[in-house]
Structure 1
Amino acid sequence: MSVGAAVRRVRAYGGQFLLLAVLTLVVTLLISGVPRLVNRLAEQGLRAQLSSEPAARRDISYTTGVVAATSRNTAMGGAAERFDRLAAEMPPQVRSAVTERWYNVDSPAARVVGPDLAARNLLVDLGLRAVPGIQDAGTLVEGAWPSETYIPDRPIEVALDVDVAGRLNLRAGSQLRIGNADDKGKLSDAAPLVVSGLFRPVDRANGIWDGLPQLLRVIEPPGDAQPFVIVGVVAQSALNKRVAAGWPVQYNWRYRLGADRIDARELDQMIDGLQTMQRTRPQDLTLTQGVDVPLRAFAAQVDAARTLLAVIAAGVLATLAGLIVLAASLATRRRRSEFVLLRARGGAATAGARRSLAESLLVVPVAAALGWWLGTLLPGEPDPTTPYVIAATVLVTLALPLATLAVPVGAAARRDLIRVRPSARRLTVEVSLLLLAGLAAVLLRRRGLTLGEVDPLLVSVPVLLAVAAAVLALRAYPWPLLLVSRLAARTRGSVAFLGTARAGRSAVATPLVVVVLAIGTAAFCAVVAAGVDASRERAAEQIVPADAVIRGERFAPDTIDELGRLPGVRAVTRVLYQSDERLAVDEIGTDARVAHTDVLLVDGSGLDAVARESEVDLPVPPTLLAARPGAGPLPAIVSPAVATDLAKAGLDDSAFISVQGQRYEFRVADTQEGFPLLSGNASRFVILPWQALPERTTTPVPTSLLVAGDPLDAEALRVAGDQGQERYQRDGAVTGRDRPFGVTVDTRADVRRELGDGGANGVLAFGFVAGAVGGTVLGLLAIAFTVLAGARARGQVLSRLRTLGLSRRQWRGLLLVELTPLVAVSVLTGALVGAVLPLLLNPVLGLSAFTSGVPVQVAFEPSLVAAVLALGAVALGFAVAVEALNNRRLRLGEVLRLGEES
């Protein structure tokens, strides 16, 4: 048991120990390296998602109402003191993520008048703001910054953005007066004010400019005879004196979270911290923050991705464990005579195991340490995986000694025969395994799981089902081979008979299980990836059931014709959407006393034409297609919640709803859980057929337009939509006073791309690719082990047959006939397991986080059949190549001379 002797044996059996070392290295590399890659991808996805949001979305803002400053402190001094106190009171995880912070004190906007404004007949309200550090963020273009030295009876000095001042005909030195205006525009308590200077921001993206209302833009008047609103910068000392004189002010404290300061592994703690801040905020402050929305969405994706990765990792690691068992078994089988001789010379029962343990200790720990070290070189933050690496190293080290203990010490026996009727002990084990797999699957479906956590039941169910399927395949496939062998015995030639006979007697229990595990993992990844991709297509079609959708406020009716003249446009239809409408009992408007609901007007034939031209799978309900103008209520499609409320109120045959000021009667003709253009969580809606509306003095106008065509110019659609809104505002039956907001144009291709990019999609894609590629490679390696396990016996048979005149061509045919059933059964069983697992696990994986809430539907993929056939052909060719190389290395004549057990 000397170390030198162990080293010599390792060198003598170098190939076997090299294989064991490589498998060990791969295991520890995956355990230590994959979590790093996942964390890296998650960090990149989180930063990309937060960076795609407006920077102000990451602001945590505290604001007060319009208040008077306390007498014990100045306005700016009190703001600075509370600024630091609010930051110190933040939860640690939130405080550590703050990278920038600002505070300001504003006086409410008041009317300003002066010669320069009167020259253009401009009505302007001006708010005054003191912001520490503003001079470092701006560059003076003209004049000077407001002086911090307060001089009584001097006009208030204010600095304006140069573009803002230019739009309002103001310049450095403009003389103004500021005060409160009554209904007739007369100022009271007016104070002199002068524009001391004009500035331009050094960086418009600097968060110091994001305070509301903004310093860098003019707020347009919401209607006629209403003022423009702007904000100017004043000195802190001047604002302090004005506040002391009784001016009210408003305080604002903003803290911006850095996208690179939020750890993707601690999203739950960050979200909890934001919730804590919301609950414990001071009563006199209003807390505004929107960063929790993208964080929650990303956390849901990460949790779903990690859960899926746990399933994939279980399959891959179980396959590697099986390969290690096969490698250890193959090594001990080749050395069986050595261990038998050791026992015959008086060695103890554990002598061979001790020898194997000494050899494993020379190889496995070194390979495990190398794999762990290589894993630490991968980018990303580490997870606490050291205990798992140690456990894996110990188990692999013990694999060879345990396999040695299992070596039979009796006389040689035929190992290529299996009994059709298994022993009672083996039958009990197999039946128990089948029952355990079924019970685990049922428990998983009924109990569910917590996403993002490694659930022992979740990771064990795929492995148990794969092993159970392999056991069933082992019990089933010898029967048809026995029948084929009997039929082949009646034909001429010996190739088919001998090949099927040997295939039916092969002892391939462990190798077949390993192949099924590997191929099942690869097929599972392929099926789930196809299901997620198809569900994203459906989600994009739900959001944009056309090639593009133009959303605005209200469009002139002729906008449809204008869009139809654009290049590439094939069809256009109108849609009207209103939210929170009240249901009524009669046309007068008597309240039905049910919850408010959304209303959607759709032109059935137009929607059908646009969907058809856009190649969108959107079956338009017959209720919308067949509706025509006539007497009686309109046939409507409603959500189940609305249908229930109307039935309880006795209004399912006649109810009224208001659409743009006109009340229409409808009846419940059908119910649906959802409808395109509505949000996925919309639970209360009424859908009316536009083409069936009765004639009224005013007709509804669309709020959205669906466009079908190829190619489409998004900018041209945007221009046409804006012009349509302007025409409605100018030429409509009721001329609008409000300025319309610009339209938004969303194309289905862009929506589909956004669903597949960003967020935690990088983690999901990594899992799919790694699982599919790793499962396929490990499956081929397991097939190679299967071939090598029986290579010696096949070599002996082929040696005898070659001496009896078997040609080289017949030898290849015999090899194909013998290996084809094994390869076909293992690949097909693995593919079947991989196709069934998604149906079982899909409801608990939470993959709808990647499809905008649309449930992921896993269905049969015809491409999977082609992939399985291709994989089977590759596997069979690989198996034949491995066998040929092995026979060439062993030299068939020497195999025959060395004897049965060599």
Structure 2
Amino acid sequence: MKALLLARVNAGAVAVLAVLTLSACLLVGGLPRAMQASFDDALRKDLRAAGADQIDLTVRYEPRGGDSGISSHAMFMQFDDIFRGKMPAALDRIVTPAGAGTSHLSLKSVNTPMVGTTTKFLNVGWLSNGDRQVTWVEGRAPAATKDNVMEIGVARTAVGGHMGFALGATYRIGATDPTTVKVVGVFEPKRAEDPYWRHNQEFLQINEVVRPGAADADLYYTALIDASSLPALQDSDRRVVYAWIMGVEPGQVGTQGFTGVLDALNDFTRELGLMSPSFSPYVLDTRLKAVLESFMDELATAQTILYLLLGGLLVVALGVAALATQLVTERLDPTLSLMRARGGSLARITWTGTSVIALATLPAALIGYGLSYLVPGGTTPIVHLAPALVPLTALAFAAVRQANAHRSPLNERRGDVASPRPSARRVTLEILVIGLALGGAYMVRSRGLATDVATQGQDPFLLLVPVALTLAAALITLRCYPYPLRLVVWLASRGRPAVPFLGLTRAARARSFSTLPVLILLPALAVAIFASVISTGLTRTQTLAAWQAAGAPITMRTDLEYDAAAIERIKQVPGVETVVPAQTGRVQLGIGTQKLEIIAIDLAAYRDLAKDSPLDLPAPPTGDGIPALVSPDLRDRPKLDIGWQSRMTLTPKGEIASVPGFFHGSMFALVPFDANERAGTRTAVNALLIKGDADVAALTAAAKVDSRVTTYAQRHAAIVEDPLTEMIQLALLVVTLALAAYAIVAVIVSLVISAADRTAALSFLRTLGLSTGQAQRLTVLEVSPLIVITALVGLGLGLGLPAALGPGIDLSSYAGDLAVDPTDPDLLTPILLGVGLTVVAILGALVHTTITRRRTLGSVLRVGD
């Protein structure tokens, strides 16, 4: 018989298998691509945030005596070609070509004093593409040096002011063999925010450097010269630095070539050392390696959580595919048994049945795999491997099951009469699995986890222990649940109603196929609940971190003072509900140089402002004098003598770990708002904590003094809008929903698989007078116990996994550096998942009995029954 005909006859079951295969392949193929995209986005965001001056590759060369031999743009380019030729391929792919992006060449003098002053330094420098980066607003661009006068251009910000530059003025620079320079032009940058200028800020602004013990600051500025003046600078006695800047394009850096870039940086540094002249090395100046290594720690945690979720999803998807395969093969059993009885070979029977599964799974798997490419992101091996496992599992399960079921003609068996006794080999294997799972969990808790994920990969204990624990819990559930159920059956047999006894007896004698639904339901529930617990804990901690960083819905601070009129104007701004003033300062502790952070605030008013927030603020300090709450490192001091607006003595009355929005970790103290008034001076308010949803621009306008405004919304957005954080939250949501759906599908499919046996049993009982209501109750009692017990075990395992995997799920980098505590979960979502699964099972049983009630006994019972 052709497989296509069998598939058409059993189109419903085949369609279910195809849909489940397609969805599974789409999920396990698309989710890793989305994960990879988020990894790359997060890395590129970190690179851009670090700035071009930090991540670009800059080869610096400072000649120490003698002529460097580089006196023209062309000679600079020759060396640029040499350096790029020595660059490993992994670096060459991520740097921009010469003259593109932030790639450029430069020559700058260093610490060149101006004649006639000891605090002013005028350096000169050349930029290879500086003419394309500036607009000359006065005068003209510098030209070649002639008559021993070097022409320079200065930024508009350097004209006048402390340096006193003026168009047309000449200056003498250099301690020995001074050079005359003349200002011939004034420029402005075309785009001051361009990353190009991160390397060349000294051309745009005057730098002030205060030396210890000096009365005045030293002023430094670098003026722009033309390439034609390079020989004059080369032949002088100036200290100069040559630089070849090879800009890194963040968009070309990805996490898949992560370690290759790190290795290439080491190789390039070694190559530069080998080609360096004597006593004047070529130095690679970049923090790219430090930025990448810092990102590695954040990435390792994200990969741990996401691949843990992906592994659980894959295991459940494979189980559901196997369960749907069993549904199809059971529908094929009558036909294949007839073929076997008529002389069909076991190989032919197995091939025919497996071909039907192939018709359902292979096209669906290809479609799901193809659809996964619609998800943006990089391709990793798991993108190809995981979708392939789904149809292969279904085909292997179908082949093994049919070869076993039809090894003898008309090999009919009943598994509902007596529970089969497990073999000694199977019991030994199950005990081994349980022992390994418990041992692995103990090892994770005792020895910790491998932290060098970039070189060693994910710790196998972290990836395998959850699977082993789930399998162990499923095996224990399957072995142990009949025993308490038999006790209930014995109690039910003592009563007169027959329905409880019959329903619970059938549940206690469940066929062997019940193993597969449990092996699906339990990991699905456990991982879904684990994901919901982690997600809830992460969301809660992110909210707390944002409150601790902001201190209030809106916090305003100034270096001056908010007078009474300013505070009153701010209170009148639309959206402002409450304003709590405060005074902050950095004060002298004792009579030495030790400093203390301090804030004077009405803590009772602050507590009222933050009453709807997760902040846990202490009660106000009370007592004589000036009571204070102090940081932990000051708790043992009986008195604190400080100099603020006047000398005052604080009396520690309690300990506080931080002041949200202001202090954390350093020495600090919190005192009553009128502390300075108690010491005989007035309170100068320089901070405002505001409750409400007011416009920031309106607040700063009302203050009429320069203010720094921090809002809870800004802090919260900065935490949650990180690409890795967004991906973790999205993956937790997707996996929770997918696993919950798979759990429901497993319940429904298991009901359908057992439908024929249950219908036959109910039909027999109907001939004995079983009513429709009794049939419904009997069905519910039959299917509910295992579902309820599995749901409870899955709930407990899901809640216990965060504690079992504690060392491996440090999510603090995604929650404002606050530790996420998943061991104190919100139980609402986990309980809803478990209850929802049980309700679906009961509803499915009721629907099933309603459908079978319409069937006549003659359509179910055979002649002779």
Q: TM-score normalised by the shorter chain: which range applies?
A: 0.7 to 0.9
5 Å-filtered alignment, 1:187-266, equals 191=180, 193-195=182-184, 197-217=185-205, 231-266=222-257
Deviates more, 1:813-822 or 1:460-469: 813-822
SS in 2 for 1:237: helix
Query: Structure 1 residues 458, 547: closer, same or farther in 2, change over 3 A?
Result: same
Give the Cα separation in 1 of the matches to 2:560 and 2:749.
Answer: 70
Who is 2:799 aligned against?
835
Q: Is the 8 A contact 1:546 1:614 kept in 2?
A: yes
Q: Is the 8 A contact 2:566 2:703 kept in 1?
A: no
5 Å-filtered alignment, 1:69-468, equals 70=67, 72-74=69-71, 82-88=79-85, 90=87, 92-99=89-96, 100-107=102-109, 127-148=123-144, 150-152=145-147, 155-161=149-155, 174-180=167-173, 191=180, 193-195=182-184, 197-217=185-205, 231-271=222-262, 289-291=286-288, 295-338=292-335, 352-357=349-354, 359-360=356-357, 364-385=361-382, 386=384, 393-407=391-405, 409=408, 412-417=412-417, 419=419, 428-450=428-450, 453-468=457-472
Query: Structure 1 residues 108, 422: closer, same or farther in 2, change over 3 A?
Result: closer
Give the Cα separation in 2 of the matches to 1:868 and 1:129.
Answer: 67
Q: Is the 8 A contact 2:173 2:180 kept in 1?
A: no
Q: Is the 8 A contact 1:627 1:689 kept in 2?
A: no
Who is 1:876 aligned against?
841
Q: Is the 8 A contact 1:636 1:666 kept in 2?
A: no
Who is 1:735 aligned against?
none
Q: Is the 8 A contact 1:356 1:401 kept in 2?
A: yes
Give 1:834 shift. Answer: 1.7
Paired AA for residue 637 in structure 1: S
Who is 1:572 aligned against?
581
Q: Is the 8 A contact 2:520 2:743 kept in 1?
A: yes
Give the Cα separation in 1 of the matches to 2:709 and 2:291.
Answer: 22
Who is 2:597 aligned against?
600
Give 1:788 shift. Answer: 1.3
Paired AA for residue 130 in structure 1: W
SS in 2 for 1:540: helix
Give the Cα separation in 2 of the matches to 1:48 and 1:83.
Answer: 28
SS in 1 for 2:415: coil
Q: Is the 8 A contact 2:525 2:833 kept in 1?
A: no
Q: Is the 8 A contact 2:325 2:357 kept in 1?
A: no
Q: Is the 8 A contact 1:518 1:775 kept in 2?
A: yes
Give the Cα separation in 2 of the matches to 1:833 and 1:266.
Answer: 37
Give 1:375 shift. Answer: 3.3
Give the Cα separation in 1 of the matches to 2:682 and 2:107.
Answer: 46
SS in 2 for 1:707: strand
Give the Cα separation in 1 of the matches to 2:563 and 2:597.
Answer: 19
SS in 1 for 2:105: strand
SS in 1 for 2:103: strand
Give the Cα separation in 2 of the matches to 1:286 and 1:659.
Answer: 48
Give 1:531 shift. Answer: 0.9
Deviates more, 1:245-254 or 1:275-284: 275-284
SS in 2 for 1:260: helix
Give the Cα separation in 1 of the matches to 2:650 and 2:64.
Answer: 51
Structure 1 stretches lacking a partner, 5+ long: 115-122, 592-596, 644-651, 724-741
Does residue 711 of the first structure (1) align with residue 693 of the second (2)? yes
Give the Cα separation in 1 of the matches to 2:57 and 2:556.
Answer: 32
Give 1:757 shift. Answer: 0.6
Query: Structure 1 residues 366, 629: closer, same or farther in 2, change over 3 A?
Result: same
Does residue 894 of the first structure (1) align with residue 859 of the second (2)? yes
Paired AA for residue 397 in structure 2: A
Identity of aligned residues (%): 24
Give the Cα separation in 2 of the matches to 1:275 and 1:675.
Answer: 44
Paired AA for residue 714 in structure 1: V
Paired AA for residue 437 in structure 2: A
Who is 1:730 aligned against?
none
Query: Structure 1 residues 511, 389: closer, same or farther in 2, change over 3 A?
Result: closer
Query: Structure 1 residues 711, 543: closer, same or farther in 2, change over 3 A?
Result: same
Superposition TM-score, scaled by structure 1 size = 0.78
Give 1:761 shift. Answer: 1.9
Give 1:259 shift. Answer: 1.9
Q: Is the 8 A contact 2:507 2:782 kept in 1?
A: yes
Q: Is the 8 A contact 2:150 2:179 kept in 1?
A: no
SS in 1 for 2:171: strand
Give 1:573 shift. Answer: 2.7
Who is 1:629 aligned against?
625
Give 1:850 shift. Answer: 0.9
SS in 2 for 1:600: strand
Give 1:433 shift. Answer: 3.6
Alignment counterpart, residue 832 of structure 2, candidates 859, 867, 879: 867
Alignment counterpart, residue 857 of structure 1, candidates 805, 821, 832: 821
SS in 2 for 1:415: coil
Give the Cα separation in 2 of the matches to 1:60 and 1:844.
Answer: 35
Give the Cα separation in 2 of the matches to 1:194 and 1:454.
Answer: 61
Who is 1:738 aligned against?
none
SS in 1 for 2:381: coil
Give the Cα separation in 1 of the matches to 2:267 and 2:545.
Answer: 34
Give the Cα separation in 2 of the matches to 1:764 and 1:627.
Answer: 48
Structure 2 stretches lacking a partner, 5+ long: 97-101
Q: Deviations over 1:505-526 (max 9, x none)?
A: 4332321221122222221111
SS in 1 for 2:861: helix
Query: Structure 1 residues 227, 808: closer, same or farther in 2, change over 3 A?
Result: same
Who is 2:531 aligned against?
525
Deviates more, 1:476-485 or 1:400-409: 476-485
Query: Structure 1 residues 361, 495: closer, same or farther in 2, change over 3 A?
Result: closer
Q: Is the 8 A contact 2:499 2:774 kept in 1?
A: yes
Q: Deviations over 1:49-104 (max 9, x none)?
A: 44455554544445577977726443767755555555555554344322231222
Give 1:263 shift. Answer: 0.8
Query: Structure 1 residues 402, 89: closer, same or farther in 2, change over 3 A?
Result: same
Give the Cα separation in 1 of the matches to 2:59 and 2:703.
Answer: 38
Who is 1:540 aligned against?
546
SS in 1 for 2:203: coil
Give the Cα separation in 2 of the matches to 1:698 and 1:110.
Answer: 52
SS in 2 for 1:774: helix
Who is 2:99 aligned against?
none
Query: Structure 1 residues 335, 33: closer, same or farther in 2, change over 3 A?
Result: same
Give the Cα separation in 1 of the matches to 2:115 and 2:857.
Answer: 107
Superposition TM-score, scaled by structure 2 size = 0.81
Query: Structure 1 residues 52, 352: closer, same or farther in 2, change over 3 A?
Result: same
Give the Cα separation in 1 of the matches to 2:89 and 2:795.
Answer: 49
Deviates more, 1:398-407 or 1:877-886: 877-886
Give 1:781 shift. Answer: 0.9
Alignment counterpart, residue 791 of structure 1, candidates 749, 755, 763: 755
Paired AA for residue 152 in structure 1: D
Give 1:775 shift. Answer: 0.1
Query: Structure 1 residues 566, 886: closer, same or farther in 2, change over 3 A?
Result: same
Who is 2:668 aligned against?
687
